[in-house]
Amino acid sequence: MRAKKYNSLSQLAAVMAGFAVTILLLESGALLTWADRLDVGPARSGAVRVTAALHKALQPLGVEQVRKESLGGLDRLGWTDDPARLLAAREKSRLSASGSNSPCTVAAHAPSPAVPKTAAPVVTGVPRLTALKPLPPAAPGEMRVVALVGDSMMAVGLSDVLLRQTATNKNLRIVKAFRSGTGLARPDVFDWMEEYPAMIGDEKPDAVIVAIGANDGQGFVEDGKTLTFGSDAWVKVYQQRTTDFLNLLTQNGAHVAWVGLPPMKAGAYNDRAAEINRIAYTVVSQNPLATWWNPQPYIGDEAGGFRELETSPDGKTTRIRAADGIHLSDEGAALLAPALIGWLNPGPPPITTAQVAPQETPAVQASRHHRGARGRSARP
């Protein structure tokens, strides 16, 4: 019997109907989550209303339980890439294996009271030249654990270069705790307060390098109210989230280097990045264990604006920003790496503030970097 290759429009319509009914039954909860995660605006409001109504109507049928059970099963198998879910599944398995009857909960992390919650007023501008506060010298033979934390500003370019340049350093152990597409503005998409402890597991970093905020130039919903980016209410909430996150990073005495957002190519986006930087600088300045570090002198132009290409003193031209005008290229990240790695390796003789502060022009520093990148590995 020959296979019937072609179908009619009415059959297509029936297939689409069957598809729509089944997908709504199986995924009404997931669709609501998707709607919640949209950028704040009229589209999101409409999508949330529709999907919430659908979810409410379909939930009593219990079909979406299939999804929950399936996800739970996959989490137990270690299939998920969500660190908090993976940790929760492992904890649940451990408790089941030990026969414990106590309810499985992932301990919600309470922010350290290291910094008072009273918000300081946000600065009107950030300093161009900033120095990284030197780390206490490491004891001989001591392994320093360093966490690389952030969104794609860490994941793309910067983490790769830092990993490569510290690969031969036996006194450093790098813990990767970054995830593209995340931020502090939307914990409904990725909650750093829950995910960071899961990402670092049992590690207790001595030092943390943070590059985050590129996705935070957006509004969000807080306590049912939509807060527009940059409004007073938005700033207040975002500042608090940044404070809580910083307290989490420094909770075990870890020192934090918070890398500011670099200048961005698109004007409107650059303005938002500048606002994020001002808030982050305000918060970080309040924490004695943390330093906000401005990458502008290294990868911006003389006016502190966006620069895509770098010409070294020997005339070599390289691209320091990715084609999207946002992320760093490997060459761009390599301009920042010496200062950050220098901060991690205070080793004898002790590094003074003058050695880590950008006293020289970026061109001279780039020249130093180019020479170093051709073979010398960082000394412990």
Partner 1 sequence: MLFPTVEFALFFLAVLLVAWSLHRWNSTHKLFLLAASYAFYGFWNWTYVPLLFGISLASGLVAQRIQASGSPRPRKLWLTLGVVICLATLGYYKYTTFFLTTILNLWAHVARPPKVRIPEPLLPLGVSFFVFHAISLMMDAYRGKLKQRVRLSDSLLYVAFFPQLIAGPILRASNFLPQLRAPRNPNAIRLNRALLLIVAGLFKKVVISNLLATRLVEQVFAAPQTFSRGDVLLAIYGYAAQIYCDFSGYTDIAIGCAMLLSYRFPRNFNAPYTAADPQDFWRRWHISLSSWLRDYLYIPLGGSRGSAARTCVNLMITMLLGGLWHGAAWTFVIWGALHGFYLIVHRLWSGIPWTPLVRFRQTTVWRWMARLLLFNAVCLGWVFFRSPSFAIAFTVLRRLAVPGAITLLSVPVAMAVIAGLAGQFQPLRWRKALEFELGSWPAMARGAAFATAIFTIELLGPSGVAPFIYFRF
Binding site for partner 1 (CB under 8 A): 3-12, 14-23, 26-27, 30-31, 34, 67, 70-71, 74, 78-82, 159-160, 163-164, 167-168, 179-181, 190, 265, 308-309, 311, 314-319, 323-325, 329-330
Closest contact distance (angstroms) between CB of 223 and partner 1 is 25
Pick 13 or 104: Cβ nearer partner 1: 13
82 or 91: whose CB is closer to partner 1?
82
Q: Shortest approach of partner 1 to residue 163 CB, angstroms? A: 4
Which lies closer to partner 1 via its Cβ, residue 11 or residue 361? 11
Bridge-based pairing of strands 207-211 and 144-150 is parallel
- Pick between residue 18 and residue 201 the one whose CB is nearest to partner 1: 18
**Residues 92, 273: Cα–Cα separation, whole Å:** 40
Pick 272 or 278: Cβ nearer partner 1: 272
β-sheet bridge partners, residue 150: 178, 211
Strand pairing report for 255-259 and 290-293: parallel
Q: To the nearest whole angstrom, how small is the minimum distance from the Cβ of residue 304 to partner 1?
A: 17
User: Residue 157: left if φ>0, alpha if ψ -120 to 50, beta else—which one?
Assistant: left
Exposure string over 1-19, b if 16+ CB within 10 A, otherwise e: eeeeeeeeeeeeeeeeeee
- Tell me the closest approach of the beta carbon of residue 179 to partner 1, in angstroms: 8
Dihedral, CA of residue 132, residue 136, residue 140 and residue 142, to nearest 10: -80
- Taking the CB of residue 226, how many other CB atoms lie within 10 A of it? 15
307 phi/psi in degrees, rounded to 5: -140, 130
- CB-based contacts of 234: which residues, under 8 Å, 6+ apart? 219, 220, 227, 228
Edge to edge, what strands does the sheet with 172-178 contain?
172-178, 144-150, 207-211, 255-259, 290-293
Smaller CB separation from partner 1, 204 or 319: 319
> What whole-number distance in Å separates Cα of residue 15 and Cα of residue 299?
54
CB of 54 to partner 1, least distance (A): 13
CA distance 153 to 261: 8
The nearer residue to partner 1, 120 or 163, going by C-beta atoms, is 163
Q: Could you tell me if 103 and 95 are in contact, meaning their C-beta atoms sit under 8 angstroms apart?
A: no
Longest dimension (CA), the chain: 84
**Residue 321 three-state SS:** strand
Residue placing its CB nearer to partner 1 in the complex, 13 or 57: 13
Instruction: Give DSSP secondary structure letters for 140-193.
Output: TTPPEEEEEEESHHHHTTHHHHHHHHTTT-TTEEEEEEE-TT--SS-TTT--HH
Nearer to partner 1, 112 or 180 (CB): 180
Q: Residue 225 or 374: which CB sits closer to partner 1?
A: 374
